[in-house]
Structure formats: C-alpha cells, structure tokens
C-alpha cells in the first residue's frame, strides 16, 4: 500500500513528522506502543497500526478490528503519533498528497500524546532550518466539517492552545483542534 507520493513524504517530514522512526530506530513493538499512545486504550487496542517509511510506503504492524488506524512517530521532538478514523485517514491522504479532501465525510482523530506543527496557517509549511516546531497539547480533531462555526478562534501561528481553534483556516484542510488537557 502506498499512502504518500515522494513529494508529499518530504512535506510530511517537513511538517514535524519525523522520518527517523522509519529508519528502523525503533522496534515494531516500540512503534506499536508509540502509535497507541495517541488514543484511548479502548480505541488504540483495536486499531490497525501502521508505519510509513521514507519512500511513503506503508507497513502494517498490526491489523485492527475497528475503523481506526494509528500511525507511529519517534519519541523525540515533534512526536506526532495519531489515530484517525476511516474518514480522517481519507482526509489525511488528501492533505499529504495536496488533493481535495473528500466531501461529506466528517472525520475524527486523536493526538493524545500532543503534536507539533510549523504553522497553524499553512498546511504545507516546513519548519525553518534548526527551528523546533510549535508544540500542541493533547487534542482531538474534527475534519471535513460542512461548516466550521465562525466563533472559534482562527489564529495565526500562535493560537491559545488551551481552547479549541481552527487550524489551517480558509484552506481545504481546515479542521477543528480541541485540546483535552
């Protein structure tokens, strides 16, 4: 299974999602544990677990029995494990391949280990050389909502991460970030 194009894998890595984990720095058990840290055990324990290599090739580490897929990331700066339902996975594939996200399919995702991003404005921004991406608190995400309420903050690069905000507002990839700490 190929999830990402070569170009989009470079963008994926540039967004703070490390490819170090993909270079066999972690055992499969460590990758599974890291991926499962993104969601509640009731979800993660039944999810499909995947790892993505530097060429965008997907390797299934464990088949699941629910509609969630958890992706592992390395435990250093920019740790971004996430668990996405089927609709959110379709949204993520569209984002990573710079394609139009699916319409009419609201998606849900967990990032309970937190995450990192170089920009809350530009979905394809890369972190400046030597800069650490901005850390996000543990959160859940809603994707492809038919319409985002206008009263949620649509911040610049430094939102108040203690309350919900719209990430990448005004782009096809805007989504609601909901902190859960």
pLDDT tens, position by position, for the chain (181 residues)? 445 433 334 344 444 444 444 335 788 999 999 999 999 999 999 999 998 866 777 889 999 999 999 998 855 457 889 999 999 999 999 998 999 999 989 999 999 999 888 888 899 988 777 777 778 899 999 999 888 877 888 877 667 888 999 999 999 999 999 999 7
Q: Which is nearest to 35 in space by CA: 84, 81, 85?
A: 81
pTM for the model = 0.84
Q: For the chain, give every domain's residue range.
A: 6-179
């Amino acid at each position: 299974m190929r999830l990402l194009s070569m170009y989009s894998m470079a963008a994926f890595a540039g967004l703070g999602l490390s490819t170090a984990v993909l270079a066999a720095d972690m055992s499969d058990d460590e990758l599974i544990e890291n991926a499962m840290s993104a969601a509640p055990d009731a979800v993660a324990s039944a999810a499909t677990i995947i790892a993505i290599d530097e060429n965008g090739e997907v390797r299934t580490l464990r088949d699941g029995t629910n509609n969630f897929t958890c992706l592992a990331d390395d435990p250093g700066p920019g740790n971004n494990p996430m668990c996405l339902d089927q609709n959110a996975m379709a949204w993520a594939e569209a984002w990573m391949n710079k394609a139009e996200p699916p319409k009419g399919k609201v998606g849900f995702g967990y990032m309970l280990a937190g995450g990192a991003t170089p920009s809350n404005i530009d979905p394809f921004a890369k972190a400046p050389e030597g800069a650490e991406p901005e850390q996000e608190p543990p959160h859940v995400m809603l994707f492809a909502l038919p319409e985002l309420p206008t009263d949620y903050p649509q911040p610049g690069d430094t939102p108040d991460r203690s309350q919900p905000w719209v990430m990448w507002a005004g782009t096809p990839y805007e989504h609601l970030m909901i902190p859960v700490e």
